[in-house]
């Protein structure tokens, strides 16, 4: 733990992955664990981990990278924070992100711009860019992220690390600052597949405080990982839409090479189709923004968070606090969501988007009824330059075309390193049946 902080001290001036460190408490816990001696049965004991700053940590500032929560110290731990602590892992600090997890480059943080660990002139992806860069730069071996439309998988891909968005309902969202409640999911970002599996087993499970969590047993995801035999006999689907227009040739080549490797190991890889995939981004921005506009109502300048000065009425407190506390992208989503849900437009927007969501769910079900999992790219390109897309929300939104449908369908999706393009990492996405993260870990382990 001490070495971790020394390393962060020297590297974070460049990487800028952390918003806030938990130094005193972490060193104290490490000393206590040292005094107890090594618990040989618990591989996670004493392992330093970083936590995305939209996951609440008791007594430790949790800002969701928003001015709105700049000085917010939660009075309780999220369920995953509690599980991290109970597992013996040591929370070393909170990582940077796009404000309220809205974005794909971490440039929407109110506080700082995190750099890609491979090239400091490029974005780390987002919104869990701080978590992915912290892992990729060697600051920590593991971090928690959250994924509403790709925010674990895309930064993992941009930084050449392993990211898992578990099935919706696998991990408790209690204490995750809500963005799109029907889409949000917490998961691990790690250097290796096995570490990822170990951590998911530690943080998953039913939680009476989040009734969308499943009561299914949580397997030991790290058991039975075997690179040579795991995929033998498996049927894999490769959607033709995932290798279409807009996807870089190097990205396509990396995926096709991975498909060949699976075939060599005795799997079959067929071309399949997800015909409604192309409507995913449009449906997502209606649904996620609608949910966000409702979730973010609680930031009213009264109960907690930022409050503007010099206000003359209650209305003025709301308007000024929200105008000053939220960044532009967050305001854009609130306006879009409020509009989509309004009486005159609900049928044309929210209801339509919900119907499209059902078509997307059906597409996945059709493929997954006779395929063990789906493979494809995570993002159409490797990491782009800082500042390149920041003023162009549409381009930014389209970047998530391959990850968003997975959240709409609530399926598990994983990003693993699959190659390079001009020295930048390229990720591969594996998409599974509901609650079958085990198959994804097995397939991912082929490339460990």
Asked if 103 interacts with ligand GLN (CB under 6 A), we say yes
Cis, bond preceding 420 (omega within 30 deg of 0): no
Among 46, 93, 104, 380, contact with ligand GLN (rule: CB under 6 A): 104
Compute how many residues bind ligand GLN; rule: CB under 6 A. 13
Which residues lie closer than 8 Å to 141 by C-beta, 6 or more apart?
Answer: 47, 48, 49, 135, 190, 191, 195
Instruction: Report the C-alpha gap between 211 and 169 in whole angstroms.
Output: 8
Q: How far is the CB of 246 from ligand GLN (least distance, A)?
A: 16
Find out whether 188 and 408 touch, Cβ atoms under 8 Å: no
Asked if 151 interacts with ligand GLN (CB under 6 A), we say yes
Among 101, 134, 272, 424, contact with ligand GLN (rule: CB under 6 A): 101
Instruction: Report the C-alpha gap between 181 and 150 in whole angstroms.
Output: 14
Which residues lie closer than 8 Å to 50 by C-beta, 6 or more apart?
Answer: 17, 18, 91, 92, 93, 94, 95, 130, 131, 134, 135, 139, 140, 142, 143, 144
242 or 285: CB nearest ligand GLN: 285
331 is catalytic: no
363 or 400: CB nearest ligand GLN: 400
1 or 66: CB nearest ligand GLN: 66
Give the DSSP H or E segment for 241.
Answer: none
Binding span for ligand GLN by CB under 6 A among 13-21, 98-106, 169-177, 298-306: 98-106
Q: How far is the CB of 180 from ligand GLN (least distance, A)?
A: 8
Q: How far is the CB of 222 from ligand GLN (least distance, A)?
A: 25
Asked if 114 interacts with ligand GLN (CB under 6 A), we say no
352 is catalytic: no
Q: Which residue is nearest to ligand GLN (CB)?
A: 151
Instruction: Report the C-alpha gap between 360 and 358 in whole angstroms.
Output: 5
Q: What is the token pair recorded at 153?
A: 């998988």
The site string for ligand GLN over 162-181 (x = CB under 6 A, - otherwise) reads -----------------x--
Among 150, 187, 239, 301, contact with ligand GLN (rule: CB under 6 A): 150
45 is catalytic: no
Find out whether 128 and 145 touch, Cβ atoms under 8 Å: yes
Distance of CA 371 to the CA centre of its chain: 25
Task: Look at residue 228 and give its three-state secondary structure.
Answer: coil
- How many residues are listed for the chain in this entry? 448
Q: How far is the CB of 446 from ligand GLN (least distance, A)?
A: 26
Asked if 337 interacts with ligand GLN (CB under 6 A), we say no
The site string for ligand GLN over 286-305 (x = CB under 6 A, - otherwise) reads --x-----------------
Q: What is the token pair recorded at 378?
A: 């995570």
Vertex 335 angle, CA 332 and 336, to 5°: 85
Which residue among 127, 128, 137, 288 is the active-site one? 127
Binding span for ligand GLN by CB under 6 A among 13-21, 97-105, 189-197, 203-211: 97-105
Q: Annotated active-site positions, please?
A: 52, 127, 151
| Binding footprint of ligand GLN on the chain (CB under 6 A) | 101-104, 127, 147-151, 179, 288, 400
């Amino acid at each position: 733990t001490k070495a971790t902080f020394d390393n962060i001290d020297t590297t974070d001036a460049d990487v800028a992955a952390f918003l806030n460190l938990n130094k005193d408490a972490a060193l104290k816990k490490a000393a206590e664990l040292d005094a107890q001696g090594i618990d040989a049965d618990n591989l996670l004991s004493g392992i330093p981990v970083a936590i995305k700053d939209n996951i609440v940590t008791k007594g430790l500032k949790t800002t969701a990278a928003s001015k709105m929560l700049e000085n917010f110290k939660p009075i309780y731990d999220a369920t995953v924070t509690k599980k991290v602590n109970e597992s013996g892992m040591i929370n070393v600090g909170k990582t940077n992100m796009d404000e309220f997890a809205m974005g794909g480059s971490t440039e929407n943080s109110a506080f700082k711009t995190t750099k890609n660990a491979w090239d400091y002139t490029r974005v780390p992806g987002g919104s869990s860019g701080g978590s992915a860069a912290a892992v990729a730069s060697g600051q920590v071996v593991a971090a928690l992220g959250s994924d509403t439309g790709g925010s674990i998988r895309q930064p993992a891909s941009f930084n050449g690390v392993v990211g898992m968005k578990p099935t919706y309902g696998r991990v408790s969202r209690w204490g995750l600052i809500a963005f799109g409640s029907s889409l949000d999911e917490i998961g691990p970002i790690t250097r290796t597949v096995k570490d990822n599996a170990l951590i998911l087993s530690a943080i998953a499970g039913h939680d009476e405080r989040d009734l969308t969590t499943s009561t299914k047993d949580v397997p030991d995801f790290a058991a039975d990982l075997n690179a040579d035999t795991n995929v033998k006999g498996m049927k894999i689907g490769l959607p033709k839409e995932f290798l279409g227009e807009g996807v870089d040739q190097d990205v396509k080549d990396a995926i096709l090479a991975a498909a060949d490797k699976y075939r060599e190991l005795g799997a079959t890889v067929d071309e399949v189709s997800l015909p409604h995939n192309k409507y995913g981004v449009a449906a997502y921005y209606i649904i996620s923004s609608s949910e966000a506009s409702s979730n973010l109502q609680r930031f009213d300048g009264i109960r907690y968070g930022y409050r503007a000065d010099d206000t003359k009425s209650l209305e003025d407190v709301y308007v000024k606090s929200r105008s000053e506390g939220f960044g532009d992208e967050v305001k854009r989503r609130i306006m879009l969501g409020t509009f989509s849900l309004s009486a005159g437009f609900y049928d044309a927007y929210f209801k339509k988007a919900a119907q499209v969501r059902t078509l997307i769910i059906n597409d996945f079900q059709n493929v997954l009824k006779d395929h063990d999992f789906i493979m494809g790219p995570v993002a159409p390109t490797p990491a782009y330059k800082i500042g390149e897309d920041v003023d162009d929300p549409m381009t930014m939104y389209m970047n998530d075309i391959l990850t968003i449908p997975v959240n709409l369908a609530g399926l598990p999706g994983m990003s693993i390193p699959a190659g390079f393009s001009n020295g930048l990492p390229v990720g591969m996405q594996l998409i599974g049946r509901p609650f079958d993260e085990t198959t994804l870990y097995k397939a991912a382990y082929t490339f460990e």
